[in-house]
Amino acid sequence: MDPLAGMDDSSTDDETSSQTTEDDPQVPEQHTQRPPPPPIVQPPPPAPSASNVPRERPHYQERHVLRGHTKSISAVKFSPDGKLLASCGAETVVKLWSPETGDFIRNLAGHTEGLSDVSWSSDSAYLASASDDTTIRIWSVETGITRKVLKGHTKWVFCLNYNTTSNLLVSGGCDGDVRIWNVARGKCMKTLHAHLDYVTAVHFNRDASLIVSCALDGLIRIWNASNGQCLKTLAEGHNAICQHVQFSPNSKYILSTAHDSAIRLWDYQSTRCLKTYTGHTNSKYCISACFSVTGGKYIVAGSEDHKTYIWDLQTREIVQVLEGHNDVVVAVATHPTDNMIATGSIESDLTIRIWIDRGPRSAA
């Protein structure tokens, strides 16, 4: 019924209401049989922060436009040392850029089909890429050589992530499987038959004890990484098919984006939605969101209205909108140490834009 009921703070029943109501007793996996969802009640614009302290606002400005991709971009990622930006898209190569100068550095070529995701090892020495050729490649960034080809997925690999110590990789495929890989040997350690539909995001928590995954079946699942057991399932509203999840930097919360044009911050221990960020458009594409913690604390996400939105983490207000792309912004990344954002767009745009924040004066 109420799409926001699942986030209600006031009740122990919020898990229930996010799932099933007396009108709709189906379990959410069977979403094909569900009656069409009732119209969404748009939440009123969030009230300004109760505190009197004026919150700082970001002042991001476009710095570079990186051209070179010939097909839709699917992911952009800063290296953990901040020196490089990796991007991938529907062509078969990973591109490396210098975020500082905007220069193109090199292609990592070897895959035979398009790419959906890339992930950096924490020492920035290796890069893993997920491809539609059903393999994952681990590249030595310095030499550009493939160090390992991870084979095992039976369909397109859609998403992947290293753990913090970078001895493990987790990947999600379009067969609904989540696989955990031993990076040193290049072997699959474990396969979780996690979902019934495309797995669109997987992420380790800080100490790699948990994995969160989400899929187009509308569910977010939390797994015990060491034994592969499912620990919890979070389900959003019926129309909120989730496409991206990640743990917060301290691994206490989960950030998810969904097709009801809402980004949610969950306390997964209590299965409660703590924050909802709205105002952008997201009902069709797999759009990622990310935390920005280098300046103020923000949530950054692309949108189908060709813009990039920045929300204040606490107040949920939109504090800046970045305009420049002329197609859907699907990929965003924030720099690990600087106030820098990279965004990537699809078909009729095909650019990566680097935005930096030099403080209020430069914006004036």
Partner 1 sequence: MNELLSNPFNTLSHPTAVQTNLPALALFSKFDPTGRYVASARATGSADVWDLETRNSIRWLDGHVKPVTSIDWSHKSRYLLTSSKDWNVVVWDLASTCDPPQRYSTLRFDAPVVSASFHPKNSRIILVLLTTGEAYLCDSRKATRSRTMLKEIVDDDSDDEEMKGEPSSRSRTHMTVARFDPAGKHIFIGTSNGTLLVFRTRTKTMIARHRISGANVMKGIEFTKNGRRLVTNSSDRTLRHFVTPTYSEAVEDGTAPGGVLEQDLEPTHRFNDPINKTAWHAMAYSPDGEWLAGGAADPAAHKIYVWDLSNDGQFASTLDGGREPLVHLHWHPLKSLIASTTNQGNIFIWHSPNPERWGAFAGGFEEVDENVEYEEREDEFDIEDEVVLLERKMKAEEEDVDILGMSVATSPPNARSSVGVHGPSSASAYASSAPTRSGSVNERAGSNERDPTAAQQSGAAGAGAVTNSGDSGMRVDTPDGLPDGHGGGGALTKEKEKEKEETPGIASVMDQDPDALWAGEEPDDDVPGLWKMKILIEGDDEE
Q: Contacts with partner 1 in 119-138 (CB under 8 A)?
A: 121-123, 125-126, 138
Region 242-271 residues binding partner 1, contact defined as CB under 8 A: 248-253, 265, 267-271
Q: How far apart are CA 362 and CA 101, in angstroms?
A: 19
First CA to last CA distance, the chain: 46
Closest to 105 in 3D by CA, of 119, 122, 88, 86: 86
Which of 87, 134, 205, 339 touches partner 1 (CB under 8 A)? 205
Residue closer to partner 1 (CB basis): 93 or 346: 93
Window 270 to 309, contacts with partner 1 (CB under 8 A)? 270-272, 274-276, 291, 293, 297
Report, in Å, the least distance between residue 65 CB and partner 1. 30
Q: Which is nearer to partner 1, 248 or 351 (CB)?
A: 248
Measured between alpha carbons, how far is 175 from 187 in angstroms, rounded to an integer?
19
Q: Which of 30, 101, 283, 314 binds partner 1 (CB under 8 A)?
A: 314
CB of 54 to partner 1, least distance (A): 16
Cα-to-chain-centroid distance, residue 286: 9
Pair of tokens at residue 152: 């095992």
Using CA atoms, how far apart are residues 12 and 272, in angstroms rounded to an integer? 9
Q: Which of 233, 321, 327, 336 binds partner 1 (CB under 8 A)?
A: 233
Q: How far is the CB of 114 from partner 1 (least distance, A)?
A: 19
Per rule CB under 8 A, is residue 107 in the interface with partner 1? no
Nearer to partner 1, 250 or 364 (CB): 250
Q: Is 149 in the site for partner 1 (CB under 8 A)?
A: yes
Indicate which single residue of 26, 37, 40, 43 sits in contact with partner 1 (rule: CB under 8 A): 43
Can you name the residues that pair with 75 across neighbouring β-strands?
88
Instruction: Determine the Cα–Cα distance for residues 308 and 357; give it in Å rounded to an integer.
Output: 14
Residues 330-359 that bind partner 1 (CB under 8 A): none
d(CA 7, CA 349): 36
> Smaller CB distance to partner 1: residue 33 or 250?
250
Q: By CB neighbour count within 10 A (0-12 exposed, 13-18 middle, 19+ buried), where does 45 fall?
A: exposed
For Cα atoms 99, 105, 108, give the angle at the middle one, nearest 5 degrees.
115
Rounded to a whole number of angstroms, the minimum distance from the CB of residue 273 to partner 1 is: 8
> Where is 76: in which H helix or E strand?
strand 73-78
- Kind and range of the H or E element at 276? strand 272-278
- Per CB under 8 A, 230 contacts partner 1: yes
- Quote the distance between the C-alpha of residue 293 and its chain's center: 16
Q: How far is the CB of 56 from partner 1 (least distance, A)?
A: 15
**With CB under 8 A as the contact rule, which of the stretches 69-77, 229-237, 326-334, 337-345 interacts with partner 1?**
229-237
- Burial, 243: exposed, middle or buried (Cβ in 10 Å; 0-12, 13-18, 19+)? buried
Whose CA is closest to 7, among 211, 238, 246, 275? 275
Number of residues that bind partner 1 (CB under 8 A): 90
Pick out residues in 50-79 that bind partner 1 (CB under 8 A): 50
Instruction: Give, as ranges, the residues between 157 and 196 that touch partner 1 (CB under 8 A).
Output: 163, 165-168, 182-186, 189
CA-based torsion, 185, 191, 194, 197: positive or negative:
positive
Q: Which is nearer to partner 1, 53 or 364 (CB)?
A: 53
Q: Is 363 a residue that touches partner 1 (CB under 8 A)?
A: no
Determine which residue in the list 30, 224, 326, 362 makes contact with partner 1, applying CB under 8 A.
224
Dist CA 359 CA 11 (whole Å): 42
Backbone angles phi, psi at 289, to 5 degrees: -130, 160
Least separation in angstroms between CB 178 and partner 1: 13
DSSP string, 110-169: --SS-EEEEEE-TTSSEEEEEETTSEEEEEETTTTEEEEEEE--SS-EEEEEE-TTSSEE
**68-76, 145-153, 303-311, 335-343 -> range binding partner 1 (CB under 8 A):** 145-153
> Which residue of 9, 36, 53, 142 would you call a contact of partner 1, by CB under 8 A?
9
Pick one of 219, 241, 245, 287: the residue that binds partner 1 (CB under 8 A).
Answer: 219
